[in-house]
Chains A and B, each alone.
Chain A
């Protein structure tokens, strides 16, 4: 099928043979369609019959932006709190593996009474749980030029409903011993990626997830089973989970030493930085949008790995004044929350920006505040600065990389 909206849709075998009774009528309609040249009046055409899978309108062109190691969600194109599963960001360390659910297994061993191998069917028999929560890579800040979209700046965050079995349920089933304080989560991908996780997170809210937005997890998100740790840096939610080992100390794997650590003041290296600090970003209007004078609804997303968003403020005068934005229900724990602020733009050049406060009282910092706190060499992990957009007099919108520096 052509994706070009200027081309007429092609009649597929399915659309023609959708119902035997309709075939003759379809043929007549087809003839008319061909006579007219382009069937641009949907009220004068038979529609496509029901199908096995839904599809996105061919007029919609939203897409992830892939690099060699990741693919970023088009935040500026979303209209709600949930990320469509096929647009959930990707980050992996040696590609997406193909895992047969019939032969998949999860082994839990180490400091447990009953080392156990669970099949996928076994995992699905346990009491299940669902929650809507964001997942964000901790290396989710890019900057440097004014022609950047929200997707370019922080597209490594997405939100889904995750369903599976509580890890606490499995901890009970295998009899995690008192001495166990950390567990190793290992993926079954070509990187055999591993992270050490405190056992307390497993008892608190970890999910061994097998479903995402109501269906099996997508391969890019860990099919058939992943660990999901609400509010924690994405790398710890190990995908394609094949093994959990309970131990009494962290393993200091490559992904928790060489990577996913940040330099802070005094030459120190901060390690096991699990929680995602609160962040917000305006998703409209942003580059490459061009706005017109009059009423503009400023829209965006806000989230915190430490709890609920309690407030989002928006400034339309370069940070001189801040107004409280409206939060869209539901405002969930450790979840993307939609915010909106209605603004009348009179054609004057200005900067617009948002900042979030979470239920711990944390207020989203500026880049300067982050660099002052951590030193200039901190690198790219756990960077969540207030993000500003320049509105030009002609309505063009540009990212402001130097704001708050």
Chain B
């Protein structure tokens, strides 16, 4: 057994850390879990830069990596794309895996197709994705599968336009850019709910 007296200085050190937490820069939080116990354990003096390990990131370093896009359009780049240009790109770079027009191939369908009796409809962009911005973000970071990161921003806008058009979410004249893309409302979005499981006896 651990001698309880040995634990006291550690406990006090932690406590003083929590109590004196700066209000603006950091605030260690305890876990909501049943047996956290592994929370932040550093004493108070370890605020920002206390260790001094690592180098301050230059804005251009961050910009080179920071390609994520949020539903409100934050992170979308300049440029634009049309449905027609996207259709040409899709045939050349995507149809081999996703089928002609995205109707289904070895790596799955991307567009809503006519329901087959007795078969569950595939979860695709038009019936399952809650935000149109996610299409842009994902295609830009991960597609085409065999050449990730090879598309220009204009090509990604064009492919996104073609996929949204094929799912009947925009008309063929729509030009996608940083302003028009986040304005698109997706049919599945209202269905999304946060996790309601919470442990305990109830099965959810």
Interface residue ranges, A against B (CB under 8 Å): 93-94, 107-109, 113-119, 122-123, 125-127, 129, 131, 166, 168-169, 171-178, 184, 186, 190-194, 199-201, 203-205, 230-231, 242-243, 245, 247, 249, 251-254, 257-258, 261, 264, 267-275, 277, 306-308, 333, 358-363, 365, 369-370, 372-374, 377, 382
Contact = CB atoms under 8 A, between A and B. Distances in A.
A166 B197 contact: no
Residue among B50, B66, B149 with most chain A CB within 10 A: B66
B38 A116 contact: no
A361 B200 CA distance: 5
A107 B57 contact: yes
Interface of B: 23-42, 46-51, 53-57, 61-62, 65-71, 120, 123, 125, 128-131, 133-134, 137-138, 141-142, 145, 148-149, 188, 191-197, 199-201, 203-204
A131 B133 CA distance: 37
A118 B54 contact: yes
Contact of A172 (B42, B120, B133): B42
B138 A254 contact: yes
Contacts of B57: 107-109, 115-117
A306 B142 CA distance: 33
Q: Is the interface of B mostly helix, strand, loop or mixed?
A: loop
B142 A175 contact: no
Contact of B56 (A114, A264, A271, A370): A114
Contacts of B25: 113, 175-178
Contacts of A129: 38
B40 A267 contact: no
24 contacts: A94-B142, A109-B57, A114-B56, A166-B40, A166-B41, A168-B39, A169-B40, A171-B40, A175-B48, A177-B24, A178-B25, A186-B68, A190-B148, A192-B142, A199-B29, A203-B30, A245-B68, A257-B128, A257-B192, A264-B196, A270-B195, A275-B197, A362-B199, A374-B204
Contacts of B203: 365, 369-370, 372-373
Contacts of A372: 203
Contact of A175 (B23, B31, B47, B128): B47
B47 A258 contact: no
Contact of B138 (A115, A231, A253, A273): A253
A92 to B, nearest CB: 12
Contacts of A363: 201
A178 B23 contact: yes
A344 to B, nearest CB: 33
A178 B62 CA distance: 21
Contacts of A277: 197, 199
B61 A360 contact: no
Contacts of B47: 172, 175
Nearest to A187: B141
Contacts of A201: 31
A271 B61 contact: no
A108 B141 CA distance: 19
Nearest to A133: B38
A192 B151 CA distance: 14
Query: 5 closest A-B pairs (Cβ-Cβ)?
Result: A175-B48, A360-B199, A204-B31, A168-B40, A307-B34
Residue among B24, B29, B38, B145 with most chain A CB within 10 A: B38
A359 B195 contact: no
B134 to A, nearest CB: 6
A115 B201 contact: no
B29 A204 contact: yes
A231 B33 contact: yes
